[in-house]
Amino acid sequence: MDIRSVDPRDQTWELDQPRYRVYFHDADGASDEYELHGGDVVDVLTWAQAQAQMAGRSFVVYVCVPGDGLGLVRLQGSDPNAR
C-alpha cells in the first residue's frame, strides 16, 4: 500500500449520496446483484456481510460512478469469475 498526503483542492466533484452494487456469488460462480441507495459504505458492508453469512456466499461491493455510462469502483471483495 502506498500512502501520501494530498491537496484537497485538486478535487473537481463528489457524490454525497452514492449508489452501491453488491454481487453475491455462490460456489458455482452464479451471482445475485443488488443496488443500494440511502446508506453509507458501513451500512452497505454490514448488510452485505450479514446476507452473505446467512446464505454461505461470497460478495463484492462496488460504488456506482456516473459518467459516460455507469462505472463501478470495487470497494471490497473479488469476483470469482474475473480472470
Kindly report whether the global pTM for this prediction surpasses the value 0.95: no
Decide: 50 and 58 in contact? Cβ < 8 Å. Answer: no
Please name which of 64, 61, 63, 65 lies closest in space to residue 78, comparing C-alpha atoms: 61
The pLDDT value recorded for residue 80 is 82
| pLDDT tens, the chain, 83 aa long | 999 999 999 999 998 999 999 999 998 878 999 999 999 999 999 999 999 999 899 999 999 999 899 999 999 998 887 76
The pLDDT value recorded for residue 81 is 77
Please name which of 61, 62, 65 lies closest in space to residue 14, comparing C-alpha atoms: 65
